[in-house]
């Protein structure tokens, strides 16, 4: 029997597990198990995003595909993830959080195995898109289960500290794990998430209480979700295809026009639908807008950085995936080390100061990338860049989450958090597409420098977005 059931009717939602507001911060085993399930879901998402990064050159070589096509192995996942986050949260409210979590994890596991056996790069990309879509449902389901299990205050702060540590650890360890597995066979990267997802699904069924019946029936904004995802997907595809089609071709101009039409349709739907995916009035909050712009640019640069490092070290220098993963290890260690201390740092120095230090760190990181040469310079270029990237990523992401939800009404905190997560994922996909389009064709070192200029521009624009907001 699941833990936390009420004796009266045998049905309860996650509130049945919750400790009292004034209880000491010593949780029983059932609460720890629940938290590890929620945290395991977000760890799996981070792991699946980052593992593929170090394997892209191996996959590109096996299938003989271009860099523009290979980047979709990352972009398809994070674009679907970001596009379906808001709809996933609505469906969790409508159909039950545990139910959405369990179904999503089951689909995630099946699609992982499909990606392992397919020999068609297009089908592989499609499987990545479906996995990202399921993560868009499991992520908000896990987060909403956490917030309804742990009351606001010290209990929730402690729970979120552990949750964020799992998220950062999943992303950073994925680089190393991906390098190890890709060194054996890149298909193992698609095998690993399947048993993890199955174990989490079984644990959720066994230890999380059933969803309580809901008096209010919500209607998910399917039309808004479809037009948003279709518009963003077409936009990224069009930008990524400019390397072959050119910026002035009919294919490019037509794709940009159609994506704009879809996004305008999305705005019209949100303006008239009874329960919109996004209440447009929330964008009157300038801090939220600045945080979303910064988040999109930051993650676009971060994804572009990883992509360029992989092309440089593996395609041009012939490094093995594990060697590249070890070079990026300082970045992962900084994320894991600084992650649990961010709350104390923000309390002591202020959220905006921590944010600005993190954003500034990306500028010298990307400037160092302009010094890459025919021979890799490990000690004065690559490792310092990795360290700076880890510091910037660790400090910026959590601080942006705090800044972007400040001044937002309590009933719209979930919407604000969903927007920020969506901006991160969609910004990463679009930014990676722009970087890919900027890379010159060929296998020479010079082809990478335009991509470095792009990610450096992203870092500067991210800083400007925050500086402009602070002066208003």
Per-residue pLDDT in tens (0 to 9) along the chain, 472 residues: 333 332 333 334 555 565 655 555 678 888 899 999 999 998 998 888 888 877 888 888 888 887 778 878 887 887 788 778 877 877 877 788 899 999 999 999 999 988 888 888 899 999 999 999 999 899 888 877 887 787 766 676 677 767 767 877 787 778 778 888 887 888 889 889 999 999 999 999 999 988 877 666 667 788 888 898 788 778 877 876 776 777 788 988 999 999 999 999 999 999 888 878 788 888 888 888 998 999 999 989 988 998 899 889 988 888 887 788 788 888 878 877 887 777 778 778 888 898 999 999 999 999 999 999 999 999 999 999 999 998 998 888 777 877 777 777 655 665 776 777 778 877 887 888 788 888 866 657 888 999 999 999 999 999 999 888 776 6
CB–CB of 208/375 below 8 Å? no
CA 201 to chain centre: 21
101, 141 Cβ separation under 8 angstroms: yes
Asked if residues 49 and 393 have their Cβ atoms less than 8 Å apart, the reply is: no
Alpha helices in 118-221 (DSSP H): 121-149, 154-184, 188-191, 193-207
Render pLDDT for 374-413 as a digit per residue (tens, 0 to 9): 999 999 999 999 999 989 988 887 778 777 777 776 556 6
Q: 419 vs 47, 290, 292, 435, CA distance in Å?
A: 22, 12, 7, 23
Residue 407: closest CA among 243, 283, 274, 254? 283
For the whole model, what pTM was predicted?
Answer: 0.76
Cβ-count burial 310-322 (b if 16+ within 10 Å, e if not): bbbbbbbeebebb
Residues ≥6 apart with Cβ < 8 Å to 459 = 297, 298, 301, 359, 362, 363, 365, 366
How many residues belong to the chain? 472
Give Cα separations from 138 to 53, 96, 320 (angstroms).
22, 12, 33
């Amino acid at each position: 029997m699941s833990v936390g059931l009420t004796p009266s009717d045998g049905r309860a939602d996650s509130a049945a597990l919750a400790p009292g507001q004034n209880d000491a911060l010593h949780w029983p085993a059932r609460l720890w198990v629940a938290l590890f399930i929620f945290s395991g879901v977000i760890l799996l998402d981070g792991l699946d995003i980052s593992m593929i990064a170090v394997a892209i050159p191996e996959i590109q070589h096996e299938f003989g595909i271009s860099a523009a096509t290979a980047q979709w192995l990352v972009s398809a996942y994070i674009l679907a993830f970001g596009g379906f986050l808001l709809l996933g949260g609505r469906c969790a409210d409508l159909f039950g959080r545990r139910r959405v979590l369990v179904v999503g994890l089951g689909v995630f596991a099946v699609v992982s195995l499909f990606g392992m056996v397919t020999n068609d790069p297009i089908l592989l990309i499609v499987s990545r898109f479906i996995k990202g879509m399921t993560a868009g449902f499991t992520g908000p389901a896990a987060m909403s289960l956490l917030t309804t299990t742990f009351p606001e205050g010290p209990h929730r702060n402690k729970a979120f500290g552990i949750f964020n540590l799992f998220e950062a650890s999943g992303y950073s360890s994925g680089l190393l794990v991906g390098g190890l597995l890709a060194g054996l066979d890149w298909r193992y990267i698609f095998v690993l998430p399947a048993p993890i997802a199955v174990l989490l699904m079984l644990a959720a069924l066994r230890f999380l209480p059933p969803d309580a019946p809901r008096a209010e029936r919500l209607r998910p904004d399917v039309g808004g979700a479809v037009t948003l995802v279709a518009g963003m997907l077409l936009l990224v595809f069009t930008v990524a295809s400019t390397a072959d089609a050119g910026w002035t071709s009919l294919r490019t101009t037509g794709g940009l026009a159609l994506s704009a039409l879809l996004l305008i349709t999305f705005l019209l739907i949100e303006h008239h639908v009874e329960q919109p995916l996004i209440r447009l009035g929330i964008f009157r909050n300038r801090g939220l807008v600045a945080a979303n712009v910064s988040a999109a640019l930051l993650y676009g640069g971060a994804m572009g950085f990883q992509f360029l490092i992989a092309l440089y070290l593996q395609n041009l220098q012939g490094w093995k995936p594990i060697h590249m993963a070890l070079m990026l290890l300082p970045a992962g260690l900084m994320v894991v080390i600084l992650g649990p201390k961010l709350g104390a740092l923000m309390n002591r120095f202020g959220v905006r100061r921590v944010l600005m230090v993190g954003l500034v760190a990306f500028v010298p990181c990307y400037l160092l990338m302009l010094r890459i040469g025919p021979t890799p310079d490990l000690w004065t270029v690559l490792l310092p860049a990795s360290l700076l990237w880890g510091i910037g990523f660790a400090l910026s992401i959590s601080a942006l989450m705090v800044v972007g939800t400040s001044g937002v009404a309590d009933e719209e905190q979930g919407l604000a958090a969903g927007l920020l997560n969506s901006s991160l994922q969609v910004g990463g996909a679009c930014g990676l597409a722009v970087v890919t389009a900027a890379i010159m064709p060929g296998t020479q070192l010079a082809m990478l420098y335009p991509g470095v200029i792009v990610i450096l521009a992203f870092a500067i624009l991210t800083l400007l977005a925050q500086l402009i907001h602070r002066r208003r």
